[in-house]
Amino acid sequence: MPIDTAALLGWFDTEERDLPWRRPGVSAWQILMSEIMLQQTPVSRVAPIWQQWVERWPVPSKMAASSQADVLRAWGKLGYPRRALRLHECAGVLAAEHGDVVPRDVETLLGLPGIGAYTARAVACFAYGQRVPVVDTNVRRVVARAVHGAAEPGNPSTTRDLADVEAVLPRTRARAARYSAALMELGALICTAKNPACLLCPLPECSWIEAGRPAHTGPAKKVQKFAGTDRQVRGKLMSVLRDSDGPVERATLDTVWLSDPGQRDRALDSLLVDGLIEQTASGLFALAGEG
């Protein structure tokens, strides 16, 4: 079943959220920063940090001139700080090889550090209005329900997912770019994973509704916990280094997780391997670029 383009765009015209990276005058670089930040992180946490980054690093060369440690400190507690390091690396490439401008085409974007299939298409679409399928979790869920009549999408498949969204995109470039944003918004606000607000859905037809809203028959999704995980310990270790003025002694880091020294040591080693922190010649620990 096709998705009613006019109904979706009409709804989006009145219900679109006023997100800062959607406002006029926002550059492709600033949209790229927002897309990296928004990966696995809620809008409410990203918005204030993004605004600070726009003011501090309005163009890639400004970020490239800053140290890795500066970027990691500014990243704060957004989580998954490797994203910050990759963005810093990407800024250097954009400044040195692309005239401080984010490329327009997907293939060139895919060649940049830290830019994957979703981010490349999102930037091409939302920054430059390109007609390219943009597929995130929300889009996959809307297509699964409205088009295929399934409660949840199957396992991700880049080829299948891109083909599914390509099939429902309007043919004209201008409508396609706005349609992509609207489809994502519908999944974020109405067609949610839990308790979808079907009575508020603007689509006049939905295969899942017509099928009687069949329950998901596949394996239940595992809830990703945070408390007590290596991720939590890594975050605590990073917080100590972000809050310090320079390298710290090992004893300072040891105090952040006393319940399981083995887990703490494993987390510390993983931060070193990921290049997020460094060890100085004298045995102190510091953020990347500060050792």
> Would you state the structure tokens that stand for residue 52, as one six-digit string?
């600070």
Distance, in Å, from the CA atom of 127 to the CA atom of 102, rounded to the nearest integer, reads 9
> How would DSSP label each residue in 65-125?
TS-HHHHHHHHTTSS-THHHHHHHHHHHHHHHHSTT---SSHHHHHTSTT--HHHHHHHHH
Contacts of residue 233, defined as CB under 8 A and 6 or more positions apart, other chains included, come to 256, 257, 263, 264, 267
Residues marked as catalytic: 35
Q: What does residue 59 show for φ and ψ, rounded to 5 degrees?
A: -135, 160
Distance, in Å, from the CA atom of 147 to the CA atom of 215, rounded to the nearest integer, reads 16
> Would you state the structure tokens that stand for residue 97, as one six-digit string?
């090889």
C-alpha distances (whole Å) from 188 to each of 88, 114, 146, 258 are: 29, 24, 15, 39
> Would you state the structure tokens that stand for residue 289, as one six-digit string?
């670029």
Q: Which residue has the tokens 């310090």?
A: 244
Q: Which residue has the tokens 């939590």?
A: 232
> Would you state the structure tokens that stand for residue 36, as one six-digit string?
């990296």
CA dihedral 191, 193, 197, 198 (to 10 degrees): 60
Instruction: Give the number of C-alpha atoms closer than 13 A to the C-alpha of residue 258, restricted to the C-beta side.
Output: 3
